[in-house]
């Protein structure tokens, strides 16, 4: 059976877990201008830091119980004994989550960026950054939620947050680089490189951790 | 042809310095049923998980022929509460099975195909989970407490089904508190 | 042995603290608040050394499977958290009179904060696994990952300008502070080091009791 | 090398206004160290008691 389709079906039916993070993201984005007085200049100043942090937060929300449900109802045991490549399944699952949550959030961040800065160039460049960083965050938080499978997501967040911080710093640098039009490509490539390492390593680590949990 | 499906020699299991069982030796051939009994906490489920290969044993060796061809039903039934019955069957790849309708009718589930699983009763959910056992074609069936929550009819149905499967040369491992008269071997963990 | 270390280091620590806090001349620039150095530097020095020690024992555990080193990791984590907390606290109190702010997002302070969070995470992680050996293994891997991550964070925050003074004592260069201030500082570092080692010894004893309570030799040990 | 720079005890406590910072840090560090030692000592004692009691 096609795993992609099944995961898609599961996520689509769990509206709370699919739409929830996206809505939280949008709400933060809408709430932001209200907290600053409506001065265009001030809005732009803090917008991007807020953007990255809200992407981080919504990714954390999205992965909160990515494995918890399967763990509680016994699906994980079934898959481990029946499927030959568990890491591959995890990689697919993360991809589905990115496709269903990460990409919409990246699109929305493009729209909000356009709406606030009124600068198409910057917003177009922010879009790939958002795509890549949402995927990285998703992987990291999947790692965290696997670690804290039976302890709630806060523990996982504590452990994975330090790993996400360098990415946040690079993102901050990236926006500055875009605004001044210098070497943003390097930073994008740096993110892409770390993404490729993370994509390939996280599924294996996570599958090991989950097997350790099931023992 | 070798008919041995499971061959375990001197398995011991110990977790965090707590010893559950020690030096168990057993084997299982085609057409045999192994009934694992024992008091609560004696390690029945753990033994099943060792046979499945989820938990490694501390000592000893266990050999399972054809590791990937096992049908397993644990006390967690692997059903998604927010999906309908037919969607759940699809998750397990059973929605197009040729015998599906026969078993659905026998288990009184045919009316509930579009009902969300969370709204079914416990016994109905158990029956739905058992469908996976009925529709499988693997040589080794492993069941953890299969009779809990079933009514008399369903109990007899499951029992007869398992007896029929044994005749066709399959092997069954199950844990249960109640005797259900299909076993050919009993393993009692104190 | 333990007792000798304990009393010796306690004596040195108290002696150099009293010397440093009460019997040294006022600093030219910072005034009297510089005296926090005798509490701050040992703590911040050890907060990183303890993590390094944890990383070393994780490597030992992963390569040679020495059980004791796994217990050591567990024993050191809470103490590392405590020491890191002390470093953060004393640092931020020191910051009020000297920088006029109790917090500054620079490389050292940020990485120390992350270190603190990581200690907390590592402490709480171990309980979430039912199989202790697996938990030990995972914990050691995480310690190593964190050990790599700390310099990365430090480097990346370093891209911004920094307020924090560079280290007063390094192994290679001549010390930049006056000997009358330096000797009590060295004394307090040594004393604090000994005290922390004693703490680690007790807490690893607790760990051994916790994990090996079924073994017969532990009765003789008691 | 050992020169007492303050004229009186009060001045040593006050330290030109910096005393509150210095002494609060001293207090917190001492408290934390004592607390940690007490915590582990008590735990150790409990373990030892447990081992000695049943036999």
Query: Using one digit for the tens of pLDDT, what is the confidence trace for C87-101?
Result: 999 999 988 888 888
pLDDT at B178: 73
**Any domain includes B85:** yes
Q: Which of B130, B139, B136 is nearest to B64 (CA)?
A: B139
Burial class (CB in 10 A: 0-12, 13-18, 19+), B66: exposed
Specify the range with the lowest mean pLDDT, choosing from A28-32, A132-136, A196-200.
A28-32
| DSSP string of chain B, one letter each residue | ---EEEEEEEEEEEETTEEEEEEEEEEEETT-EEEEEESTTSSHHHHHHHHHTSS--SEEEEEESSTT-EEEE-SS----TTSBHHHHHHHTT-TT-TTHHHHHHHTT-GGGTTSBGGGS-HHHHHHHHHHHHHT---SEEEEESTTTT--HHHHHHHHHHHHHHHHTT-EEEEE-SS--S--SEEEEE-
What percent of chain A is helix, strand and coil (3-state, nearest 5)?
85, 0, 15
Q: Domain residue spans in chain D? A: 9-52
Q: Do chains D and A touch (3 or more CB pairs under 8 A)?
A: no
CA distance C221 to chain B (A): 18
Taking residues C149-158, what's their average pLDDT? 76
Mean pLDDT computed over every residue of chain C = 85
Taking residues A22-31, what's their average pLDDT? 92
Q: Do chains B and D touch (3 or more CB pairs under 8 A)?
A: no
- Work out how many CB contacts closer than 8 A connect A with C: 58
Q: How many CA atoms lie within 13 A of B111 on its CB side?
A: 4
- What is the helix (H) or strand (E) element at residue C102, kind and residue range? none
Question: Quick one: B88 and B101 in the same domain?
Answer: yes
**Any domain includes B88:** yes
What percent of chain D is helix, strand and coil (3-state, nearest 5)?
80, 0, 20
How many residues comprise chain C? 222
Model pLDDT for residues B69-93, shown as the tens digit of each residue: 788 888 888 888 888 888 888 888 7
pLDDT at C192: 94
**Cβ of residue A173 closer than 8 Å to a chain B Cβ:** no
The two structure tokens encoding residue D22 = 């210095």
- Domain residues for the domain of B120 are 77-137
**Any domain includes B101:** yes
Say whether pLDDT at C162 is over 50: no
Residue B7 backbone phi and psi in degrees, to 5: -140, 110
Say whether pLDDT at C158 is over 70: no
Mutate to test the interface with B, among C131, C207, C212 (most CBs of B within 10 A): C131
Local confidence band at A13 (pLDDT 50, 70, 90 cut-offs): confident
| DSSP string of A135-188, one letter each residue | HHHHHHHHHHHHHTTTT-HHHHHHHHHHHHHHHHHHHHHHHHHHHHTSSHHHHH
Model pLDDT for residues A122-163, shown as the tens digit of each residue: 899 999 999 999 999 999 999 999 988 877 777 888 888 888
B35: CATH: 3.40.50.300
CA distance A149 to chain B (A): 16
**Any domain includes B190:** yes
Output the CA angle C90-C92-C95, nearest 5 degrees. 110
What is d(CA C152, CA C142) in angstroms, rounded to the nearest whole number? 15
CA distance B127 to chain C (A): 31
Question: Quick one: B88 and B180 in the same domain?
Answer: no
Of C114, C125, C131, the CB nearest to A215: C131
Q: Which bin fits B187, alpha (ψ -120 to 50), beta or left (φ > 0)?
A: beta
**Any domain includes B159:** no
Question: Quick one: B102 and B10 in the same domain?
Answer: no
The two structure tokens encoding residue A131 = 């795509």
Say whether pLDDT at C177 is over 80: no
**Cβ of residue C213 closer than 8 Å to a chain D Cβ:** yes
Q: Do chains C and A touch (3 or more CB pairs under 8 A)?
A: yes
CA distance B17 to chain C (A): 7
Provide ipTM, 2 decimals: 0.81
**Any domain includes B179:** yes
Say whether pLDDT at C130 is over 50: yes
Question: Quick one: B64 and B14 in the same domain?
Answer: yes
CA distances from B108 to B27, B78, B88, B93, B103 (A): 37, 20, 17, 21, 8
Interface contact D36-C199, CB threshold 8 A = yes
Subunits adjacent to chain A (3 or more Cβ pairs under 8 Å): B, C
Question: Quick one: B2 and B57 in the same domain?
Answer: yes
């Amino acid at each position: 059976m096609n795993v992609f389709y099944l995961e898609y079906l599961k996520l689509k039916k769990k509206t709370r877990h699919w739409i929830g993070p996206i809505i939280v993201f949008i709400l933060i984005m809408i709430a932001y201008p209200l907290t600053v007085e409506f001065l265009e200049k001030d809005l732009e100043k803090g917008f991007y830091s807020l953007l990255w942090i809200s992407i981080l937060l919504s990714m954390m929300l999205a992965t909160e119980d990515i494995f918890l449900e399967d763990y509680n109802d016994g699906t994980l045991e079934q898959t481990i004994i029946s499927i030959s490549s568990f890491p591959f399944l995890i990689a697919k699952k993360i991809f589905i989550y990115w496709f269903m949550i990460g990409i919409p959030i990246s699109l929305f961040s493009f729209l909000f960026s356009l709406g606030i800065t009124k600068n198409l160039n910057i917003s177009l460049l922010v879009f790939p950054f958002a795509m890549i960083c949402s995927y990285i965050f998703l992987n990291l938080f999947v790692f965290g939620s696997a670690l804290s499978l039976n302890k709630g997501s806060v523990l996982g967040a504590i452990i994975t947050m330090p790993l996400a911080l360098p990415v946040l710093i690079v993102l901050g640098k990236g926006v500055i680089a875009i605004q001044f039009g210098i070497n943003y490509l390097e930073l994008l490539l740096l993110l892409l490189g770390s993404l490729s390492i993370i994509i390939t390593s996280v599924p294996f680590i996570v599958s090991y951790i989950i097997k350790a949990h099931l023992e | 042809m070798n008919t041995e499906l499971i061959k375990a020699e001197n398995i011991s299991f110990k977790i965090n310095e707590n010893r559950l069982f020690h030096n168990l030796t057993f084997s299982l051939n085609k057409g045999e049923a192994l009934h694992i009994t024992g008091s609560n906490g004696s390690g029945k489920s753990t033994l099943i998980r060792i046979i499945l290969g989820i938990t490694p044993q501390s000592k000893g060796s266990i050999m399972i022929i054809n590791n990937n061809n096992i049908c397993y039903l644990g006390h967690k039934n692997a059903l998604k509460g927010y999906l309908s019955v037919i969607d759940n069957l699809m998750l397990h790849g059973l929605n197009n099975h040729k015998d599906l309708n026969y078993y659905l009718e026998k288990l009184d589930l045919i009316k509930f195909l579009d009902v969300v699983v969370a709204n079914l009763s416990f016994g109905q959910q158990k029956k739905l989970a058992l469908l996976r056992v009925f529709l499988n074609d693997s040589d080794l069936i492993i069941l953890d407490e299969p009779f809990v929550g079933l009514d008399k009819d369903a109990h007899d149905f499951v029992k007869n089904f398992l007896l029929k499967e044994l005749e066709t040369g399959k092997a069954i491992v199950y844990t249960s508190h109640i005797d259900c008269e299909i076993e050919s071997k009993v393993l009692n963990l104190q | 042995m333990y007792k000798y270390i304990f009393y010796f280091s306690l004596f040195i620590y108290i002696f150099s603290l009293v010397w440093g806090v009460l019997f040294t001349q006022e600093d030219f620039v910072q005034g009297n608040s510089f005296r926090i150095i005798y509490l701050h530097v040992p703590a911040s020095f050890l907060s990183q050394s303890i993590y390094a020690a944890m990383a070393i024992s994780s490597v030992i555990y992963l390569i040679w499977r020495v059980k004791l080193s796994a217990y050591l990791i567990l024993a050191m984590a809470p103490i590392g958290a405590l020491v890191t907390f002390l470093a953060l606290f004393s640092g931020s109190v020191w910051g009020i009179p000297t920088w006029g702010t109790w917090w500054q997002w620079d490389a050292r302070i940020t990485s120390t904060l992350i270190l603190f969070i990581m200690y907390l995470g590592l402490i709480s992680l171990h309980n979430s696994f039912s199989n202790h050996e697996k938990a030990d293994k995972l914990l050691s891997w995480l310690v190593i990952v964190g050990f790599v991550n700390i310099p990365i964070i430090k480097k990346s925050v370093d891209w911004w300008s920094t307020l924090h003074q560079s280290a007063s004592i390094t192994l290679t260069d001549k010390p930049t502070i006056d000997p009358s201030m330096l000797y009590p500082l060295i004394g307090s570092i040594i004393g604090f080091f000994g005290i922390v080692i004693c703490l680690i010894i007790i807490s690893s004893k607790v760990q051994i009791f916790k994990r090996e309570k079924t073994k017969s030799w532990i009765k003789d040990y008691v | 090398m050992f020169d007492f720079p303050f004229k009186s005890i009060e001045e040593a406590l006050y330290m030109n206004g910096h005393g509150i910072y210095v002494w609060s840090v001293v207090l917190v560090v001492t408290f934390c160290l004592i607390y940690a030692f007490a915590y582990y000592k008590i735990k150790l004692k409990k373990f030892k008691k447990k081992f000695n009691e049943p036999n």
